[in-house]
């Protein structure tokens, strides 16, 4: 394992190493910089497909690749699988009425009694139940997953992504595979590999705001019925949000998310989303820290004030705030096709469609001022169900790299629609199957016709 590789470093790895060996700095650095010495790393070459980030897209990609016969490694920075579903305490699955893996997840959540409501499109679930389900599904498929492990550097050989480096309590480790999938949400791997990307409204932010979700314990959920969001199609959506906003006002606050939402997760356990953190870049750790601390303080203030109102709010308290503040806008890695606003308006169709997205354009207020006028906007765009092609999941600038989830190739408006998790799952499923087929036949993902992917998915479904 001590082979020396000469890689073209695409980007200097950020962050500090957890390696145990003390290293003496050699060579001079420019003022204000530190030249980190090169070192030999343990190299592991036991996977056909490496998936980076275990959110909805990442777990779907990893399981799908493994079911297609690939040896799969999955790296996740947080302490659980699921990304925004679990570490972010999302609690609600949107645009989820899809065949394949989405259907399987919805069915298995119901079998475990951790799914609420009867809607097939908008599903409330218990985040803790989701964690267990995803671990079981990865184990069943034979995915080797490693938590608490961050992808920190990527190295190319020519145009091809060849090796990545992770950081964890095991120190820095190098991993090689024929195909990689970036499912970090923020597009970390694509950026580290040197791919072009966009973020937010223009080339750079403004970005959609972040939100920190929380689980609440209440004395009597039935007494709060009028404030709890229901996803079942026969109910009026929106009235509960307005009623909840009025109650927060009665408690003396105007929330930074003016469409505050409560969901019932189980019995007297509710989930709340009622804050926005504006103008935060997802890859600036200091900014994300400040946003998290600020959001947590706002949540606590509002919940403490609601409790003081008494009545149905008597005894309400925060059980836990999310480990991860919810990031809506990350990097969108340049792919071989860019999903754009025009596709949503015309309801575009593609021969290599991996999913048909139906969710509307959902742009959360970009500033506190906007939030006072409206919590979200759709820019007057009426979405016709549209296709996302496989080409949007294949990197343009680097070979051997695919994307799935919110970091695929698209523009700001399109991303504001396709980012919800029903689409992330379907994209993950497609990326996983194509990555496995490519790796096992020594081809690049762009050389695998989508018809082969469809056939493989059908076989996987029967198995
Ligand atoms: C506040 C909020 C509310 C939302 N509401 C809804 C909703 O109600 N319903 C819905 O369906 N969708 C909703 N969305 C959208 C949806 O949750 C996301 O777009 C979706 O999670 C995308 O899935 P993903 O797998 O691409 O990314 P993520 O869920 O963000 O997963 C990315 C994973 O990669 C990991 N990761 C990141 N960087 C690294 C790295 N360098 N190394 C290793 N691991 C890494 C992260 O820890 C994470 O687990 C919401 C999003 C937010 C933020």
- The DSSP string of 407-453 is GSSB-HHHHHHHTSHHHHHHHHHHHHHHHHHHHHTT--GGGS-HHHH
pLDDT of residue 262: 97
Which of the listed residues 52, 184, 189 should we mutate to test ligand 1's pocket, taking the one with most ligand atoms within 8 A of CB?
A: 184
Kindly state the helix (H) or strand (E) to which residue 376 belongs, with its residue range: strand 376-377
**187 with 109, same domain?**
yes
**274 with 352, same domain?**
no
14 found inside a domain: no
Centre of ligand 1 from the C-alpha of residue 222, in Å: 31
Q: Which residue, judged by its Cα, is nearest atom 35 of ligand 1? A: 53
Q: Which residue, judged by its Cα, is nearest atom 12 of ligand 1? A: 420
**251 with 342, same domain?**
no
**132 with 82, same domain?**
yes
Q: Which residue, judged by its Cα, is nearest atom 48 of ligand 1? A: 83
Centre of ligand 1 from the C-alpha of residue 325, in Å: 10
**299 with 447, same domain?**
no
Assign 7 a pLDDT band (cuts: 50, 70, 90): very low
**336, 391 Cβ separation under 8 angstroms:** yes
Q: Is the pLDDT of residue 4 over 60?
A: no
169 found inside a domain: yes
**165 with 112, same domain?**
yes
**106 with 241, same domain?**
no
458 found inside a domain: yes
Assign 438 a pLDDT band (cuts: 50, 70, 90): very high
Residue list, ligand 1 pocket, CB within 6 Å: 52-58, 75-78, 83-84, 87, 90, 92-94, 150-151, 183-186, 188, 211, 326-328, 405-406, 419-421, 424
**186 with 223, same domain?**
no
pLDDT tens per residue, range 151-194 = 999 999 999 999 999 999 999 999 999 999 999 999 999 999 99
pLDDT tens per residue, range 350-365 = 999 999 999 999 999 9
31 found inside a domain: no
**272 with 388, same domain?**
no
Terminal-residue alpha carbon distance, the chain:
36
44 found inside a domain: no
**42, 56 Cβ separation under 8 angstroms:** no
Q: Which residue, judged by its Cα, is nearest atom 49 of ligand 1? A: 83
Task: Report the range out of 19-23, 443-447, 459-463 with the highest average pLDDT.
Answer: 443-447
270 found inside a domain: yes
21 found inside a domain: no
Q: Which domain holds residue 351?
A: 49-203+329-364+376-462
Q: Is the pLDDT of residue 317 over 60?
A: yes
**392 with 410, same domain?**
yes
**254, 309 Cβ separation under 8 angstroms:** no
**251, 369 Cβ separation under 8 angstroms:** no
**402, 395 Cβ separation under 8 angstroms:** yes
**163 with 184, same domain?**
yes
Both structure tokens of 184: 């970090």
**Domains of the chain: total:** 2
**222 with 287, same domain?**
yes
């Amino acid at each position: 394992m001590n082979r020396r590789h000469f890689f073209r470093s695409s980007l200097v790895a950020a962050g500090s190493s957890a390696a145990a060996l003390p290293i003496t700095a050699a060579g001079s650095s420019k003022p204000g910089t530190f030249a980190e010495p090169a070192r030999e790393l343990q190299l592991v070459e036991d996977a056909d497909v490496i998936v980076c980030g275990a959110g909805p897209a990442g777990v779907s990609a990893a399981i799908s690749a493994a079911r297609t016969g690939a040896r799969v490694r999955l790296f996740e920075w947080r302490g659980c699988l699921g990304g925004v579903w679990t570490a972010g305490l999302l609690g609600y699955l949107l645009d989820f009425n899809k065949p394949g893996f989405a259907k399987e997840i919805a069915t298995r959540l119901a079998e475990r009694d951790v799914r609420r409501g009867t809607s097939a499109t908008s599903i409330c679930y218990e985040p803790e139940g989701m964690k267990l389900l995803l671990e079981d599904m990865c184990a069943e498929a034979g995915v080797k997953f490693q938590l608490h492990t961050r992808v920190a550097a990527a190295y190319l050989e020519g145009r091809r992504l060849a090796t990545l480096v992770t950081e964890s309590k095991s120190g820095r480790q190098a991993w090689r595979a024929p195909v990689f999938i970036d499912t970090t949400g923020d597009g970390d791997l694509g950026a580290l590999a040197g791919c072009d990307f966009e973020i937010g409204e223009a080339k750079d932010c403004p970005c959609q705001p972040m939100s920190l979700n929380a689980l609440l314990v209440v004395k009597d959920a039935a007494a709060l019925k009028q404030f709890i969001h229901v996803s079942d199609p026969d109910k009026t959506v929106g009235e509960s949000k307005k009623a909840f906003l009025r109650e927060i006002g009665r408690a003396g606050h105007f929330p930074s998310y003016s469409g505050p939402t409560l969901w019932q997760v189980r019995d007297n356990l509710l989930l709340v989303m009622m804050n926005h953190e504006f103008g935060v870049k997802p890859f600036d750790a200091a900014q994300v820290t400040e946003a998290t601390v600020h959001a947590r303080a706002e949540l606590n203030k509002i919940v403490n004030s609601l409790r003081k109102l008494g009545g149905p709010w008597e005894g309400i308290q925060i059980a836990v705030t999310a480990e991860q503040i919810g990031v809506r806008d990350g990097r969108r890695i340049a792919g071989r096709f860019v999903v754009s606003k025009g596709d949503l308006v015309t309801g575009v169709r593609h021969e290599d469609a991996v999913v048909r997205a139906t969710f509307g354009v959902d742009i959360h207020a970009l500033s506190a001022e906007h939030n006072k006028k409206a919590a979200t906007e759709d820019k007057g765009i009426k979405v016709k169900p549209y296709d996302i092609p496989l080409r949007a999941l294949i990197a343009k600038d680097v070979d051997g790299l695919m994307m799935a989830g919110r970091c695929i190739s698209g523009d700001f408006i399109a991303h504001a629609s396709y980012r919800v998790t029903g689409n992330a799952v379907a994209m993950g499923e497609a990326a996983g199957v194509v990555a496995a087929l490519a790796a096992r036949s020594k081809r690049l993902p762009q050389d695998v016709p989508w018809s082969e992917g469809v056939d493989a998915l059908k076989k996987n479904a029967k198995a």
